[in-house]
Structure 1
Amino acid sequence: MSDVVIDRTQGSAIEAILRDELARENRALRGAAPVITHMLEDAGHGLVTDAVVARVRGMLADIARQLLAASPRDHSDDPQFPDCVVDALCDALASDNALLAHCHALAVETELTRRLEQDAALDPVLSPLMQELVASKREEVAELAMSVLAAQSRFVQTQRRMHLPLGELPAELFGAAVRRFEKAKLGLEAEAIAKAKDVLRGEYDEAESRAGRMLRLVTVLGAGALAALELDHAGLALFASAIAARTRQPRDLAVLACHERQPSRLALSLRAAGLEPDAIERQFRLLHPAGLLPDMLGAIAPDQARALLAGNSASENAHQAVGRGAL
């Protein structure tokens, strides 16, 4: 009986510590926004480096160009809009908290992927697990794996150019981008904007996005998706998608959990996904060789970890708060 009391007391204490750590990590996410805004003054913030800020700015400018490109310009021989128009729309897009936060998460994913390729020789596209899935005897799995492989390859190429295709945005962010385009004062005629909206919406299909394809693959794998929780076997992209699916977190938060400034979120996410402490430590060391893993993680059951992540309602708000401010 006394052992049970000690275990419960110990578990409650560890849970309280992890809850405090999540709160601290949420504050770090919220602190990223002013660093993006004042990058020259505070470039040393861990979650927002100069490279991340440049990549976010590049993605927003690319989204702006795509929105403008859908507008008919029969009155002009020049298919390109002036830089001042692109910049004005880019500023309008940057004022959307959720859109800016999404771009930030993709930039962090790209930086982490590049580091894993350099430090652990982990191919950013064709991981060992993806090779196995492409060769699967299950036709549905093989076809989905091929589509994910192609989507990940496109993602790597577009990120090298600091671009982000509109079709890769989640549905709510695609809608937000179109609304910002519609409301921005760009000197476009209402008819041209209406035609552009029809074109953009007609071409959009969230299910065909990289994130949509990865979610379908993880779902089809069922219990076999546990293999995707082995970072050096699955690759970062599928690893993050598997964490998001198994813990019901937004994928962007699963990506940010892999950052060195979010160790408690990563540990809790992996525990919530069903990994045992020794397996969690292996994944943790791949991302943070010198990092400190939260003590006695085994005292937290997977359902407790899920409750901590779900109950920490500030987590999603903290991510969206990255978008406060302007580039």
Structure 2
Amino acid sequence: MSKAAKDGNGPGADETDRVRDVERILKDELARSDRALHGVPSVLTHLLASAGHSLVSDAIVARLRGMHSSLAVQLLNAKSGTSGGSPDSRDIDRLADHLAGDSVVLSYCYALAMEGHLAERLEQRCSLDPILSPLLQELIASPDAATGELGMGALAAQSRFIQSQRRMELPLAELPAELFHAVLKRWEVHERGDPELASAIKALKARYDEGASRVGLLARLVSSMRGGAIAALELEHAGLALFVAALSTLGKQPRELAILACHEQQAARLALSLRAAGLEQAAIERQFLLLEPTERLPGDIGEISPKRAAALLKNASSQDQG
């Protein structure tokens, strides 16, 4: 550093002050965005019990109801399979409501509903194929047999996801391991004392394979790209599913947060996530043009190092959990 910079004069000091200003703005916006996310479960709980919500909320709430009912049907079918019966509609509704009462389950389903909604919006507005992107085509055609096989598996899984979202369903097999076991535990509490429950849970656990899930396949596919994984951060080329997987992996954050970062009111989280993943300012601007968040891209985001951007996100996450 030059003497002028050390003395607080000259471009060095100006640059430091500018970076600090950008960080302060981003911290403030991130805190505001996080407060909005914190309120999501309680708002969703209210909306699931009422009919007064906006058109977009209508679509999201309908998907949430459908996914919770879908999980309930699968659980009850697993149990009724041992006795040859079929679940009663009242039992389905009661179990669906019980599952929706878990904020973790509700938040995960909300993230999936947002992903499905955003994939449809990008298809309509930008002609982004929600299933087969140019990058996924390239990975399927890779000379590396393992990468090609992973790509085909991800393609099939993404196709199932889009169909499931249109039918407002959520296969149990697509849940992350932690959430899969949490759902089973919540079901166990709900059905406490049922003699058929233990064998049904055992059968479900025996069939479950997290690595074969869509999220698992996409994460493995991004990891297989190694240093080239940054190519998946070009939304128009990668498609939303791979873009979110790369944003999660390279930005070192849960996939649900990577999805929600793409929401129109999460500009600060999106900018920091992309910077933490290694994108330069011009590339970040291209993603903002496609996703069209309501807030503008924070100025001079490129002045913040990827390491510092990751630290800001991590600090915000730590405060959320505190």
TM-score exceeds 0.5: yes
How far did 1:91 drift? 1.5
Matched residue count: 312
Q: 1:8 aligned to 11, 16, 38, which one?
A: 16
How far apart are the structure 1 equivalents of 2:191 and 2:79?
Answer: 14
CA contact (8 A) 2:191 2:197 kept: no
Q: Where does 1:66-105 land on structure 2 (aligned, <5 Å)?
A: 66-72=74-80, 79-105=85-111
How far apart are the structure 1 equivalents of 2:260 and 2:210?
Answer: 22
Q: Which runs of 5+ in 1 are unaligned?
A: 319-327
Q: Deviations over 1:252-301 (max 9, x none)?
A: 10000001010111011001110000100001110107651111112211
1:250 has 2:254 as partner: yes
Q: Which runs of 5+ in 2 are unaligned?
A: none
Change (3 A) 1:203 1:153: same
How far apart are the structure 2 equivalents of 1:245 and 1:185?
Answer: 37
TM-score by length of 1: 0.91
Residue 210 (structure 1) aligns with: 214
Please tell me the root mean square deviation across aligned C-alpha atoms, in Å: 1.9
1:144 has 2:150 as partner: yes
The aligned amino acid for 2:15 is D
The aligned amino acid for 2:212 is E
The aligned amino acid for 1:11 is V
How far apart are the structure 1 equivalents of 2:274 and 2:194?
Answer: 51
Q: Deviations over 1:79-118 (max 9, x none)?
A: 3211111111111111111111000000000000000000
The aligned amino acid for 2:262 is C
Residue 287 (structure 2) aligns with: 283
CA contact (8 A) 1:129 1:233 kept: yes
After alignment, is 64-73 or 245-254 more displaced? 64-73
Q: Where does 1:184-263 land on structure 2 (aligned, <5 Å)?
A: 184-185=190-191, 189-190=194-195, 192-263=196-267
Change (3 A) 1:86 1:294: same
How far did 1:316 drift? 6.0
Q: 1:154 aligned to 150, 160, 179, which one?
A: 160
Residue 49 (structure 1) aligns with: 57
Change (3 A) 1:4 1:141: same
Q: Where does 1:154-173 land on structure 2 (aligned, <5 Å)?
A: 154-173=160-179
Residue 324 (structure 1) aligns with: none
How far did 1:44 drift? 4.1
Q: Deviations over 1:103-140 (max 9, x none)?
A: 00000000000000001111111111111111111111
Aligned identity (percent) is 50
How far apart are the structure 2 equivalents of 1:287 and 1:315?
Answer: 27
How far apart are the structure 1 equivalents of 2:226 and 2:81?
Answer: 49
The aligned amino acid for 2:240 is L
